[in-house]
Amino acid sequence: MLKAKNVVMDKKIKLVASLVVALPLALLTSCGGENLVVEEAIEDVVEEVVPERNETYYQIPSPDEMFGFIKESGLGFNGELLNSVKNVASYSDPKMQALNFGIYSADLAYTAAFQEFNETTKYFGTVQKLADQIGITAAFDKSLIERATANLGNADSLVLITNTSYFAVVDYLEQNEQGGKLGIIASAGWLETVYVIVNSMDYTKDKDAVDRLADQKLALDNLLDYMAEYKDNTDVADVLNWFNELELVFANLSEPDTEKPDISFKKKEDGKMVLGGGSSISISEEQFNAIKDKVNEIRNNIVKTEL
């Protein structure tokens, strides 16, 4: 959940609402002692949650939420879709570093969600390296790094930790009034999740994934509204132009009849709770292909090397 700028706050606010929304699988499939891992991670991220008036919040799904869903939908892992860690050294422009921090953060969540632990280790290190280059190393405290290192073989814990690191960055940038940089990072992270989804699915076979893609129209609207708060920043304005082009493609999708998409929880045969329900936004195969083409175009412009 992203907060608008120019808000005077008397108390520190952490992103507990977004964290809980973004971790349906980690929270709902844990059992026994694993619940303690979830509770401890939430306590690390959340200090106070104080409702404030005169604030505007923009909700977008985290990478972990999206990848958890597509995994449950039966879509497999495809390592070829990742931005290679070898490319990181070629990003020297601050805007491209911030954009690829978002890309790599999403790739980190993708590898963790599918328990590709060797890749997760590489991408965690790459995200840390870029964090240093864009000046947000302080968001990665020592305890978080130690916990990640110690839990590389624990699927549930690792997913939780990678998601916690994502929200630590979001919170750090908000608290330090760097909303423009946050908008750039969040937009690239969101784009990478959509890129992975559209290049992993079959329109005719993967209805749940198609529905989730259609729902991204709402997420994109929120993202654009948030970035528009910082359009005076040249880098944000450049990125906003790219995503406005994507919004024009999404604009062809039919609007839902209600303010919220039809998303609920359902129980599987093994007793686990997962996201259910369908999208109230329809999407044709032609529209799907148009979205895929534009997403691929923007993503390729972000990850292309500068050397």
Two tokens at 104?
């790599």
Task: Quote the pLDDT of residue 286.
Answer: 94
What are 58-78's pLDDT values in tens digits?
Answer: 666 667 677 777 777 788 899
The domain ranges of the chain are 2-303
Q: Where are the alpha helices (DSSP H) in the chain?
A: 16-22, 24-29, 34-45, 63-72, 94-113, 117-133, 142-150, 155-175, 179-198, 207-228, 234-250, 285-303
Query: Which amino acid type is present at position 165?
Result: S
Task: Quote the pLDDT of residue 115.
Answer: 85
User: Is the predicted pLDDT of residue 244 greater than 90, yes or no?
Assistant: yes
What are 25-45's pLDDT values in tens digits?
Answer: 232 233 334 444 434 443 444
Task: Quote the pLDDT of residue 259.
Answer: 52
User: Is the predicted pLDDT of residue 200 greater than 80, yes or no?
Assistant: yes
Who contacts 102 (Cβ-Cβ below 8 Å, separation ≥6)? 184, 185, 186, 187, 188, 189, 190, 191, 192
Task: Quote the pLDDT of residue 34.
Answer: 41
Instruction: Tell me the mean pLDDT in the region 114-138.
Output: 88
Residue 126 CA to residue 90 CA, distance in Å, equals: 13
Q: What is the pTM of this model?
A: 0.76
Task: Quote the pLDDT of residue 125.
Answer: 87
What are 271-286's pLDDT values in tens digits?
Answer: 443 434 444 678 899 9
Instruction: Tell me the mean pLDDT in the region 164-170.
Output: 79
